[in-house]
Structures are given as structure tokens and as C-alpha cells.
Structure 1
């Protein structure tokens, strides 16, 4: 037994998987999709039925069985989802035991009409901070992104403003009294549809969330609440309109379904309710700027979004803002089948503040998520070796001199939140981060940072570093904003999440402006402001699709609409001025070009290819169809336009822990194309086969190659160039380890500070009712299935499961609170019998046991032992 000196405190979560007397122990049923994810809400569940008429009888059975101990939240009698959500609580454990609950639930869930039971997950409100901006015509024009996407041409040349198209938004509410958002709610107003599903005080993370629905989705939280005005900002991007500001589709009609309180999170049962309501009012597009960090497609809200898309309603969802955490960070529900996952591109200009620094003749531009009026202070090095690869990532390397001063550090290696937390702990009053890739001033995303975090350009940062090494440098701030060009304009935002989905579908699908976007804010936050995130890119795409539907008609299928946008998207470099197209895993098909998408008549289907990994022969050859809907014959040359590849790991440095952020390589695939030159007459279609020859990279590195099947037009008057993004993985995903080195291990505490080695005996005293053993796990690769068996050391036989099977678990990151998790074992087992009466936890007899934990590889066969990562604990002696 020894103390662990691992840097994973606080741990990811304590998942109480089977705790005697807890309602989490109740659902030991074959239909229960158990999960040890940290955002699972204790004692809250979603039940899905095979038919709508089962909802009310089941709700009555629940109420009759559990009386006041059950609270039914939502009931769904929809043709797209029939079910209900409920919370089961035990206020008097001595009177009502977990085992009695267990038996009763077994009989309820055994009914044929119950198809699945899910734990409810919390979805965190997007943690974006707005930079408040006064309404100013010159600022609004300088910061408008419409020239990047051709939206300005659609407005001016086509006179298309999206009138008659309904965009349903699921978010935090909207200040519809804002003049740019119509000044009211209901018929005759811009915000015509929607309601408040939760109320101001709702937070799903609370033990008993306060739900106070309202008839309108008004955001009236007030500045003191801490609310960010997220939904109002999103609404303005879609359809805001004033003398100095024009949204993407300024005459579109909006719906808003409020799913967040003023702060906190929402449950995915609320998301399901909002999706169904937005669908029922006839939304042409449903826009969701929210999600979690899981790249799986199996969550109930993700499934509902996919069903809505299959019915013909376009669903646009943010890919996520976890790009700094490496590959495979696109989150659900944007991973759903048939929905559109949206990446963020940087705007052409940013609004920055400036500070004066001792010894510098010109003021230095910086950006920050907070007000720019900071206190005067000295700038000192924020790390003993500023300019390295680990600045302020390790608290032990921060000099004592930062106390009472601003700490200067270089961007990279760890998140801005980590840097800020470490420097604040050392006494710094603020953090100045300079860019690491030649960029200009930028807004560091550091939610809940304890001190201000400012982003400056690389050249300015290096000049400041040279100055502080020579002598004292003081900073003074005036708090005034001014527009400046961005070096990263029209490239993918650094925060934008990186694909693919865990099952190797291309995500994100496409991109839109999301970095440094000016839009409406609630009047209590000053009415106007700047935000950055895929939260902003998603409504921008939704508004663009509204323009498309206005031009083409509402009856276009969602898949066709996405393909059209993908066909004509702008393919961005990874960095302006540097050779190399960015990977489709970052930009999807690229940045939308709305005018071209509307006006062009040549269509490619499908709009994207996944060649999967090199173990998948069935994906190595793909076929696309080019269709000419125009009036002239078109002629194209077809070629392979390779992009940079993503290197997800640095094996020599960190093994199969994902690199944060990603690294690029030039590994490129070759394509065997059946037709290098094609002509397509009006009204005709031609099929083309494309086969991939992956790069000869080391399969152990799992290089994620990519590029674009490029169709170059011989006559731009008849048809513009088109392209199809593709990607694949060298190596077998099934070969990737699930557990990190030195994990799992057994611990006596949920923080994992005490580790029991294989030759240590863990003594478990059953007389101690709170006795527990903790399995500390770190998943460096996601797993679709995690199981744990209890093995009798004497007989070498499995007596049962330590806790229910866990399904569809996300990978861990290096970020604080996301590095590992603790799985609790309470000294009971689930017998191997499949009879319902034997599925409740049974205390193990006195004796010595091992816990055997198995995690299934991605694409693994659950019936094949070789497809699992397996770990066995040392001896656990169970006694009185």
C-alpha cells in the first residue's frame, strides 16, 4: 500500500454504482443502460415504451407502487418517443429497503412495453462569457462576419432574408423585449413560439430541482444572477435586426424553448421535451447550442434528435468547445445520425482592449472574457521557464514572485483554466497568456477562473517576456474596446472540438463563424456583446439554412441540404500563411458559402466519406453520385486534395493518452478514382467510385489522415468547383488500450490517494455499514461496455458481478476534474442467475476475493474475451 502521487485530484467523479440502500442500486435490470459517467443524476431515470398508450398506465403503476417516494417529471406520448422520466427517493431507509424497491421495479420493467431504461444525464449550461459592447455602428460593421460566408451577397443580391422560415432554438431563454428581437412574444412578433420548460431556479444538479414552467421563454434573470444571456445571443445571430446589426436570417420566425435556469445544468429528459415541442410547432430547423463530452450516439436525447431528422426536420447542433483536449472531443447529441454537427471558424476581426506597458511606446492589444478595466499591476514571469511547453501547468514551477502581480505564460500543453488556477493559488492577480502559433490577441476560454485571464499575440508576448527579464514592467488598463484584424480569420477556432465520433463517423460535418461573434444580449447585460463558441457557429448555420430553404423550398430533405452546403464549402488552411489544408476532423467540409450553395445546381451525394480504420474492408471503397440540375453540360477533373493528418498521440512521451491539443503530420492517403474526368449533361447523374490506399504510417500511432475528393470545373460559368471531405485511421481502433498505465488500482478512498498494490491485502469490515473499496479508473480510450466480477480466491470462480454493467463511457482527459473516476464497491455482488428476484445485491460471505474489471475495446465483440482490457485487483479480505 502506498500513497499515489498522481496529478488527478480532484478526481473525475465518484460513481456510486452499487450502494446498498441507495436508489442507484435499484435498477439492476437487463433493460437498464447503466453508466458511470459523472453527469448521471442520482436516482433519476428515463423509461422508453414501445407504444404511446403505455405511458399513463405505467405512470399510475409507479405512483401506486412507491407513493410519495416517487416523483414523475415528464411524460411523453409522442410518435417519436413514448416514455416518462421519474425520480425515486427513499426518505426512510429503515422502513423501505433498496431490496424491496428492487423487487418492485423488476416486475414493472419486465413488462414487454418497456423497451429501455436510461439514467438521466445533466447537460451543463454552456459556460461562455460575454464581452459587453456598447451599440456602435462602426463596431457592428467591423465585427460582422457575413462577408466570410456570402450571407451579405444573399441579402443584397437575392433579397433573401429568410422570411417565413421557422427556426426553433433550444437554449437558456431569450429577452424578446430587446428591440432587435422584435420587442414582444407571440403572433405577429419575431419570437412567436416557445415556452419556459423549467423556470429561473431550475438546476438539474440540485437534489430536488425547482421546476416552475412559464408560458413564455423570457430571460429575465438579471445581472446579479450570473446568467450569461446565452440564448439571447444565439437568437440574435439567427434573426436579430436593428439599424446597426443584421442577423443571418433577419426576417425568419423564431421559437425558443427554455431548458436552463439562470445558472446550472439541465437534464436530458428536458432536452427531449424541448425537441418534441419544437418539432410539433412545425420548426423548419431546430438549433441546439448545447451538449456533453461523449462521442457516442446512444443517449436518449441523441436518439430523439436523430428521429426528428429522419422525419425531415433539420437539426443543427454544436460540436463542442473541447478542441484543446485533443481528438475525439465532439460531443453528443451532435454525434447523432442524420443531425448536423457544427464546427466554429474565427471571425475576420476581434474587439480587443489595450494596456500600456512600461517601456513600450504603443499600447498592446489583448482580449478577455471579462471587463477590460483591470487594476494596475506589475508583470512577472509566470513560470520558472516561460516559453517552454508546460508554462504554469505544474504548480511547482511557478515562482514566488507572481504573488500580487500578473503572471506571463505561453499558450499550450494544458488548459487556460489550469494555468489560471495554479497562478491564482500562488497569489497572482491575473494571467497574461501569449499565443504559441503566431496569432494575435485572443480570448482565452477559462470558465470560472479565479483571476482575470488575458490573451495577447505571440509577438507581443515575446516582447513582454524580453522586457520583464530585463527589469520592471507595469501594466495599466483603460477598458476601451476597438476592432483589430485576426491572424486566424477564416480558420477553425482553437476551441472547436475535434472529431471523429467514437464510432468513426465524420464529425463535425461543416463549419460556420463562431469565434468573436457580435450579437444581442439581454438588456440587463447591456443589450450587445461578443461571445465565442460552437454555440455561436450553430445558430449561424441554422440561419444560413433558413436562407437556403427560403430559396429552395421547405421540402428538401435534411441530408440533401447538408450535402449541398458541404459541396461548396471553403476549405481552410490549418494556419493562415502556412501550407496545409486543415483536417476534416476539425472543419468538416469547411466554412459554409451560402450564396454558392443556393445558386449552384450541381449536387454530390454523399457529402462526406469515412474510410473507417484499416481493419474495415467494407469502407475502403465508396461511391458518390454527381447530379446536374442545371441547364448546361458540366465537365470536371477529379483529384485527391490531401489535408494535414491528425496525430492523436505522442507515444514516446505519453503513450496512448491523447495529445492536448492535437498535433499535425503530413501523412497522406492515396485515392484510386474510377473516373478522373467526367462530363454530366443537364438532368443526368454519373456515379464515381473512390478507393483509399492509406498512408504507410506506423499502425501503432493511429494517424488520422484526411482530405477532399476535389472536382475542378473546366467552366466556372456552368458549375463551380466541388469537394467531398474524407478521413480514415491507420491502425485498428480495436487494438487501443482502454486503461491508462498504472490503472485501475484499488483504493480505500474515493480521491485515490491511497493505492493498494497487487500484493497488498485490502481488509473489508462488513460491520462498518459505510465500508467501501474504490476502483480508481482512467479510461484513455472510450469503451462501450465496462464490467466487474467478484472472484472467490479459494475456488477461482466468479460468484457474480460487483455492480451492473456500465455502457458507453467517454474517455478521460488531462483537464482538472476529468482525469479519472472512482467506482465504488460496497461488498455485495449480483448473482449470476438471470431471475429478477436474484438481481439485488447480496453481501459476499466472509472470505477473500478479487475484483476483475473488464472494458470492451471500440468495435470489440462483447462475446470475445480477447476484445476486453482486463484488470484484477489484489486480495480483498471480507470479514466482520
Structure 2
């Protein structure tokens, strides 16, 4: 289960004897069980976990509005009943865990833990920023943040702070986010900050599975073993869960469930009704568990935590094999084993399906690097079992943080203790990263918008002496095309190097699923194409003497596609080694978009809406002639409840950096701007998981007359309208044509 061979960490430990000794990695997370044997057994001077504090306490959750209760000890004491999963302990083990049976990426690094999450829930930006600044002031070398807000503007608060910390010489490593199934432009902040390491996830080459065995009374010696289910269910006889087993409506109608399921495990096919309905219908008929097999030859992981009986999913081929055992007169038993086993992962060494897809909203290359985050085994708090497997860019991020510690350790050994800049280390990782195909078995290269420069290769990053800067290129969109760009290749080694320069194109991304009606709905998941750009190089070969550098100009010719489709092209400029079998190739990822992002609509058709509800599926909308009665004496405005408050529901087809909120009196004369309780800057585009965003007005208005910054006052009773004017993507705030405008119906304030 170790990810070390995929990232060459094993070679760094074994051949170079580099373990990250004395490099300090500050972690912002949910606390850490530092009493775990692999994490040092204590906290403070002389221990592995040496720095940090708890900024929030166990009960803190920004979503519930609970107040932080800080204390100086970052220990995770949350038990399983609190909803805690031991996230901070897991990432800490990935970075620097060390025991007889487990080795983290940088086992001799020093850790700090700044606890910003309670036992469950989320954290406000001000808590995260305070932790970042405290870690920086403590003197850490690296900050690792397995956290993300699904918004890709680099001007967001945490992204700006991360950018400034990085500029001061501390590498900030942040998760790209886990919204890959939602399509393009889903990389989150703070990873979109300038200079910040934005980390995508690759799948582990192996994953743990629960093994189960099928036995047939007609041939008791011929037992067949299977695996890859997500939950253990009771062992026992398995029977057909529907009289028409193998139909799309298996167990959807209680009338078609045979009485023979009573006291037995029932097998049904996926289809028509949801998993819980199938399981509950079978439970009502007396079944003790339900196995659902997929309609396709792929893994099935049903989300049915509230079913009446245990429910698991298996592959189509496994379900078919069980059916083949169900011959007339035969008794088929299913037996589950307690000890999980490691099994090859079909998607191993490719980008995880959950890993968010870039680029950043400013079209910077994000993510810019990848670690292994799918099915990662590491430490857990002792009260949660001590060890376990998790998946996410949250797991890839500490793996890269540990790798940065190894590179810093090696650099200091070879340069008299001198510390490399975060930018140089990032570029060196990017130069020598591994590029994966879009899927295993395909003869292509995945998009930089998914894998950035690719999966880290730590040994090559340390050993290779040729370097390219900048290490990524964005040609931007067609309207703002940066057609000619320059990169510099430098030989810091002691022997000459020569390369052939090639354009290694990647798959393209078709971001929208329908543009014919002038609306732009993102494809979820992303759709891939074969549209490629041509690159013209100022020279196609390069020879570098020791200490020499050469500037290479690259001119792009974007693919000839319909600009209305906004095709996202990309690839890798490959410097192919031609003179030394031991020397590695270098690559520089590039991206671009055919089309003008400024022309894209911001608001989805039919929104915004003025309402009094945050129920996305059912809310009353106030039309142009309606009047919203806002009685402030009867209103409630808390994070838990909004009552009798003007609420604005918006579905954003595309992101907007600024939402202007002009306030009009009943004569439609603008009298200022409405002040909202939540921000009106840096909005993310909507997804199927967050189809709408809400802001609400509590009758406040900034007054610029007597103070700077402006004082906030309440409007007098009366009738008002509020505008929500969204700045178009790359729009000029001073150009009225770059705003999408909307004005509410009358709001009568009492």
C-alpha cells in the first residue's frame, strides 16, 4: 500500500539516505494524536510534533456558528461518536510518520499542528489565516494545508495570504480540491494563490479490499473468491432478490420480491429505483443484507448509509458469476473475511476521478503538480483504530509537503545549509514530473488542467541539474492570447546537456455540454477531446555547457475550433534528452482556451430571484410587481436560521469576481450600495452539488460621509430595490457593457 515507489520516495530513502531531517512542516488541520507511536508519543521540545496550538476546540464548526475555544494543545481527542475521521492525524502520518511497520515521506521531519477544525464541520477564513500567520511566525519551512474552498479566484483572502507567505520563502502546499466530477474550473482556494503549490491527486497502484467467498453446495470444493466491496455484510446463504433477477427494476416493487429472501442475503441488479429503496424493500421482506451488482463492468460504491439492512455493491462480472452459481437445487453461500487484502487498482498511477480540474479563473495553470491521494494508508487517532486508508487531494497534499522537505534537506546538504526558494523547488518538481494518460491503456497524455505538470518524482527532482523557468505556460484565451512566450533552460551541472524540443500534446477538455442555446452548462463530469495546438519554437534543439542557459521562444497556433465551445487545449513542451542515457527529459505544461471568456453569461436563465427561503428545490420567488415586506422587528438572521429576511438566490453559469449591489429608493434613484452580511466578491460558478448561492440583506448601507473605511448604518423605513450586477469574466469594471445587470422587486423595510 505504500505510495513511495510511485513517487521515487523509496529511492531517496534507500539510495540518498535523505529523510527530511530537521525540516519543519506546519500542518493546518483537525488536530493530531501525537501520542500515536508513529508520531512521536508527545508534544513539544524534543518530540516529532513540536509546534502548534488548537485555535478552535472540539465543538467549533463555522457552519453551525459555534465560537472557537482555543487552547495551547493541538491534541485530537475526538472519538468516533463525534463524527471525526482523524483527518489531521492521517495527513501527519503521511508527512512524517515513523514506526517499525510504517514510514512517512519525510520520517525525520519535525511537525507543527495548528488545529483549525473541530471534531466535525468547517472553518472560517479568519481562523485559517490566523493559523497560517502563526505557523509562519513560528519559523516553519513548509505549510501543508489539506483544505479547500471551492472557488478559483486568486484574490480570495486565504490565497493572497498563502501567496505572500510563499514570497517570504516558506513553501505553501494546498489541496486542489475534490470536485473533479463537477468538471472544469473546480480547483479551490488557497491553492490558486500565485506561487502556491496546488496539488492534484493520483490513485495509488493498490487498494485494500474486503475479500468474500462464494461456495456452492453442488460443488463444495470449487470455491471462488472476490473482493472490492465497501462494507462487510453478514455471511450466509445468498439468493435472488427478485423473481426477474437481472432486470432494471430488481426489488423496486415489493410484489416481485420472492419469499425465499427471508433470513438470507439478497442479490439484485442496479437500476430504476435508488439503492435505499431496493434495500428497504428487501428488508421488509425479511432479507438480512443486500448485494447490488452493477450494470457495467466497473466498481459500484452505492451511497446508502440509511438503509434498513447492510448494503454493498459489486462489479457486474461478480454479480453475473454469483448468478451462474444459482443452479436449481443448489445452495449458494457468501462468506466475508475480516482481514483486508491489497489488490491492484485499475486506475493506479492516473489522476483520481475526484481530483479537481483547472485552470484557475485567471487561467493560471492549476493544479500545478500532483501527489498520490487515492487510497492512501496512514496513521489515525488511537481512538479511531490507529491506522486506516483515506482518499482525497487532502492525502496528496501532505505527500508533496513531505517530498518538498526531502528536496530541502538534500539542497541544504549540498549547498552548505542554504535553503532553496519555494519557486525553484516547485519548478524543479514540475520539470521532472511523470505524465499520465487520460486512462490506463490509452495512448494519450492527460490534460495539464487535471494533472498539472504531473506526479512528483522526488529522486529525479533531487538528482537532475538542468532546470527550466517558468515551469508552466498559459496562453490564456483567444481574446487575451499571449501568443509568444519565453522560457529559460539552465544547466547547473558539471557536464554538458543536449535536447530535442517537441510538442507533446494532451487531450483537450470540452467544458460545456450545450452551447447552441446561448447558455453554458458545464459538463459534469468533464468531456475530453482531441483538439490540439501547434507550437513553433525559436529553435528545435539546444546544447548547454555547464553553467550555460538558453532562452526558448514558443509561439502558439491554437486549434481551429468553434470559439463558442471554449475548447480547452493543452500539452507539454518536451525537452528530450539526446546525449546521456542517464539524464531525464524535462517538460513544461501549457494550456489555453479557444474563445473569449468575457462573452460568457454569468447568471443562469431565470436567476437571480428575490425570495425568503434558502431551500434550493422549493422557494417562493418575488416577481417584478410583488412587494417583499421586511419587518426588522420580526426577522431572524443567524447562520442556523434566516426568517423574514430578503434573500437573493443566484445560479451562476460562470464565475464573477465582483457583484455590485446598487441600492435604489422607491423612485428608482440610486442612493448607495446595499451592505450584505456575506461577501459580494469572488463568486464561484455553480455546480450540480452547489446549484445555487444565497446572499441576504439586513437593511444595512455603507455611509461614506464621515469615516474611512465607511461606517455601516441601517436604512430608514421605506421602499427600496436592490441591484445585483455581476462583472463578466475578465470584464473591465469601468465598462458598463462588461456587467450583467438585475434589479429586484420592491422591498418594503419596516
- Within the candidate set 688, 692, 708, 2:552 is matched to 688
Cα deviation 1:31-73 (Å, max 9, x = unaligned): xxxxxxxxxxxxxxxxxxxxxxxxxxxxxxxxxxxxxxxxxxx
Q: CA deviation at 1:853?
A: 2.8
- Within the candidate set 580, 584, 587, 2:444 is matched to 580
Q: CA deviation at 1:459?
A: 4.4
Q: CA deviation at 1:748?
A: 5.2
- Within the candidate set 858, 868, 871, 2:739 is matched to 868
CA distance in 1, matches of 2:664, 2:323: 59
CA distance in 2, matches of 1:542, 1:227: 23
- In the alignment, is the contact (CA less than 8 A) between 1:409 and 1:431 conserved in 2? no
- In the alignment, is the contact (CA less than 8 A) between 1:702 and 1:729 conserved in 2? yes
Say if 2:678 is the partner of 1:808: no
Q: CA deviation at 1:181?
A: 1.5
Give the corresponding residue for 2:609.
Answer: 745
- In the alignment, is the contact (CA less than 8 A) between 1:570 and 1:590 conserved in 2? yes
SS of 1:265 mapped into structure 2 = coil
- In the alignment, is the contact (CA less than 8 A) between 2:291 and 2:314 conserved in 1? no
Give the corresponding residue for 2:94.
Answer: 237
Aligned residues: 710
CA distance in 2, matches of 1:176, 1:544: 21
Q: CA deviation at 1:772?
A: 4.7
Q: CA deviation at 1:222?
A: 2.5
Say if 2:419 is the partner of 1:545: no
Say if 2:479 is the partner of 1:608: no
Say if 2:432 is the partner of 1:568: yes
- Within the candidate set 379, 398, 416, 1:520 is matched to 379
Give the corresponding residue for 1:776.
Answer: 649
Matches within 5 A, 1:335-350: 335-350=192-207
Say if 2:24 is the partner of 1:184: no
- Within the candidate set 140, 144, 148, 2:2 is matched to 144
- Within the candidate set 482, 492, 511, 2:370 is matched to 511
Q: CA deviation at 1:324?
A: 1.3
The structure-2 alpha-carbon separation of the partners of 1:628 and 1:459, relative to structure 1 and needing over 3 Å to count, comes to farther
SS of 1:548 mapped into structure 2 = helix
Cα deviation 1:638-671 (Å, max 9, x = unaligned): 0110000111111169941211111101111111
- In the alignment, is the contact (CA less than 8 A) between 1:739 and 1:781 conserved in 2? yes
Q: CA deviation at 1:821?
A: 3.0
SS of 2:741 mapped into structure 1 = strand
Matches within 5 A, 1:464-483: 477-483=336-342
Matches within 5 A, 1:64-83: none
State the TM-score, normalizing by the size of structure 1: 0.73
Q: CA deviation at 1:200?
A: 2.3
Say if 2:52 is the partner of 1:194: yes
Give the corresponding residue for 1:555.
Answer: 419
Give the corresponding residue for 2:587.
Answer: 723
- Within the candidate set 219, 224, 227, 1:362 is matched to 224
- Within the candidate set 63, 83, 87, 1:205 is matched to 63
Matches within 5 A, 1:275-354: 275-354=132-211
SS of 1:640 mapped into structure 2 = strand
- In the alignment, is the contact (CA less than 8 A) between 2:444 and 2:507 conserved in 1? yes
Give the corresponding residue for 1:249.
Answer: 106
The structure-2 alpha-carbon separation of the partners of 1:343 and 1:682, relative to structure 1 and needing over 3 Å to count, comes to same
CA distance in 2, matches of 1:375, 1:271: 50
- In the alignment, is the contact (CA less than 8 A) between 1:568 and 1:721 conserved in 2? yes
CA distance in 2, matches of 1:167, 1:192: 10
- Within the candidate set 373, 390, 393, 1:531 is matched to 390
Say if 2:727 is the partner of 1:856: yes
The structure-2 alpha-carbon separation of the partners of 1:774 and 1:275, relative to structure 1 and needing over 3 Å to count, comes to closer
The structure-2 alpha-carbon separation of the partners of 1:658 and 1:400, relative to structure 1 and needing over 3 Å to count, comes to farther
- In the alignment, is the contact (CA less than 8 A) between 2:269 and 2:295 conserved in 1? no
Give the corresponding residue for 1:217.
Answer: 74
- In the alignment, is the contact (CA less than 8 A) between 1:707 and 1:726 conserved in 2? yes
Give the corresponding residue for 2:415.
Answer: none
SS of 1:871 mapped into structure 2 = coil
Q: CA deviation at 1:406?
A: 7.5
- In the alignment, is the contact (CA less than 8 A) between 1:232 and 1:522 conserved in 2? yes
Q: CA deviation at 1:791?
A: 5.0
- Within the candidate set 494, 506, 520, 1:643 is matched to 506
Q: CA deviation at 1:552?
A: 1.1
The structure-2 alpha-carbon separation of the partners of 1:845 and 1:539, relative to structure 1 and needing over 3 Å to count, comes to closer
Q: CA deviation at 1:486?
A: 0.7
Give the corresponding residue for 2:638.
Answer: none
CA distance in 2, matches of 1:458, 1:182: 45
Higher relative contact order, structure no. (Cα contacts within 8 Å, ≥ 6 residues apart): 1
Give the corresponding residue for 1:706.
Answer: 570
Matches within 5 A, 1:151-190: 151-190=9-48
> Structure 2: any 5+ residue segments left out of the alignment?
217-221, 284-288, 413-417, 636-643
Q: CA deviation at 1:858?
A: 1.4
Say if 2:713 is the partner of 1:840: yes
The structure-2 alpha-carbon separation of the partners of 1:455 and 1:871, relative to structure 1 and needing over 3 Å to count, comes to farther
Moved more, 283-292 or 711-720: 711-720
Cα deviation 1:163-206 (Å, max 9, x = unaligned): 12221111111111111112222222222222222222322334
CA distance in 2, matches of 1:447, 1:732: 44
The structure-2 alpha-carbon separation of the partners of 1:225 and 1:410, relative to structure 1 and needing over 3 Å to count, comes to same
The structure-2 alpha-carbon separation of the partners of 1:218 and 1:797, relative to structure 1 and needing over 3 Å to count, comes to closer
